[in-house]
Amino acid sequence: MGSQITTLPIIETNPEGAYFYDSKGKRYIDCYCGAGMFNLGRHVKELSNTLCEQADKSDQGNFVLISQEKALLASKLVSFVPAPMMGVFFSVGRGEAMDFACKLARGFTSRAQLITVDGAYYGETGFSISLSDGDKKKIFGQIPQITTIPFGNIQALEEKVTRNTAAVITEIIQVENACRKASEGFFKIMRQVCSSTGALMIIDETQTGMGRTGKRFAFEHYGIQPDILVIGEALGAGIFPIAATVFTKKVQKFMHKNPLIHLSTFGGHDLGCRVAYEALELYEKIKPWENAHAVGQYLLDKLFTLQRIYPDAMISVNGQGLVAALTLKNEDMANRANVKLAREGIFAVHAKVAADTILLRPALTIAKHDVDDIIRVIGKFIKSL
């Protein structure tokens, strides 16, 4: 992404709905959306108003104390998640939420081994880097006793998960790896082997959750339920930095005995909790997953049509709901595509793991006519090759 930034000197201003403008007044359809953070659109006025109103009434609060704001949001969140969750821990961002999940799993099970899958991306902090694919763990070092298995490989899953395993960690769709998916059988076996060995199943829904795949959470498509669920910054809808780790009642019992296994100075910020509570109200009112399903299918159908016409340039198209991945010939072509798209008013970036892939992650409120503009611009670039 760094090479893209150097060639895209955009100063972002005036975000609104599915768009933002630059300092010269040019409008862009935002297909990056803070890596899938602005699910409800840019600059949601109801949430901005809530932030301003609450700033006059409250402050951060003390992290080590329960506040009304934290309690209300936690209650709302466990009701929102379609799984029997009971405990909530608030963080500032995705990486920290995953780091806490790993600490919680090791503490609860009194085991050290963590099993992740290849091609994953979970964030930029300690455990998160060690669990993710990429060069950063080579640079910064890897936390010990982490094992990587092939994503979707049932045999490896059954062989590697033992009674020494604290948790198996996965995304449902590897968004940063060209939206790679695994079979329903892989996730069902994962659930079974975790239950039989006492390992915890941790699912990261930072990019797929809060409606993006056409359901509230992507794990719903597979009929499974995690022990620990990581929810990313879409919880605060881009108005306030807040993420969450939610977990089952059995895991919560460990937290009751060990409430300070992780400290987060700004986690569960009382103002942020008020904003996130209002965001959940909007999610339930708008049900953006319904639009993500309908408009997302429209987007994917259009992309598949382009791919069939230009198979030499567009190697593959993958995705679900309103997250789509276009794999091109190489990273250089993906970078050039992003520059060309931006000049035509479509802002997107390439994937962090599969750098030859353009990711489209627009607001879940986007309209079909905006999709038509996206397809027109992508088609124009592909034809020019």
Average pLDDT for residues 110-124, to the nearest whole number? 96
Cβ atoms of 88 and 246 closer than 8 Å:
yes
Q: What span, in angstroms and rounded, lies between the C-alpha atoms of 342 and 327?
A: 18
Q: What is the pLDDT of residue 7?
A: 59
Cβ atoms of 99 and 127 closer than 8 Å:
yes
Q: What is the pLDDT of residue 58?
A: 87
Could you tell me where the beta strands, DSSP code E, fall in 66-176?
85-91, 113-117, 146-149, 165-171, 173-174
Cβ atoms of 234 and 209 closer than 8 Å:
yes
Query: Residue 323 is encoded by which pair of tokens?
Result: 């997250």
Assess whether pLDDT exceeds 70 at residue 83: yes
Edge-to-edge strands, sheet with 165-171: 85-91, 243-248, 228-231, 200-204, 165-171, 113-117, 146-149
Average pLDDT for residues 189-202, to the nearest whole number? 98
Backbone φ, ψ for residue 317 (5° rounding): -130, 130
Average pLDDT for residues 347-373, to the nearest whole number? 97
Q: What span, in angstroms and rounded, lies between the C-alpha atoms of 356 and 106?
A: 36
pTM of the model: 0.94
Assess whether pLDDT exceeds 50 at residue 1: no
Assess whether pLDDT exceeds 60 at residue 3: no
Assess whether pLDDT exceeds 60 at residue 294: yes
Q: What is the pLDDT of residue 5?
A: 45
Assess whether pLDDT exceeds 90 at residue 118: yes
Assess whether pLDDT exceeds 50 at residue 6: no
Average pLDDT for residues 53-77, to the nearest whole number? 90
Strands 228-231 vs 243-248: parallel, antiparallel or unpaired = antiparallel
Q: Helices then strands (H, E): number in the chain?
A: 14, 17
What would you report as the CA-atom Rg of the chain, rounded to the nearest whole angstrom?
20
pLDDT category of residue 2 using cuts at 50, 70 and 90: very low
Average pLDDT for residues 365-371, to the nearest whole number? 97
pLDDT in tens, 150-171: 999 999 999 999 999 999 999 9
Average pLDDT for residues 67-75, to the nearest whole number? 95
Domains of the chain: 2-30+287-384 (3.90.1150.10), 46-286 (3.40.640.10)
Q: Kindly report the average pLDDT of the chain as a whole number.
A: 94
Assess whether pLDDT exceeds 70 at residue 369: yes
Assess whether pLDDT exceeds 70 at residue 252: yes
Q: What is the pLDDT of residue 350?
A: 93
Assess whether pLDDT exceeds 90 at residue 206: yes
Neighbours of 286 (CB within 10 A): 16
CA distance readout (Å), 368 to 101, 122, 150, 320, 330? 38, 31, 37, 16, 29
Average pLDDT for residues 121-148, to the nearest whole number? 88
Assess whether pLDDT exceeds 60 at residue 312: yes
Q: What is the pLDDT of residue 338?
A: 93
Average pLDDT for residues 236-241, to the nearest whole number? 95
Cβ atoms of 22 and 13 closer than 8 Å:
yes
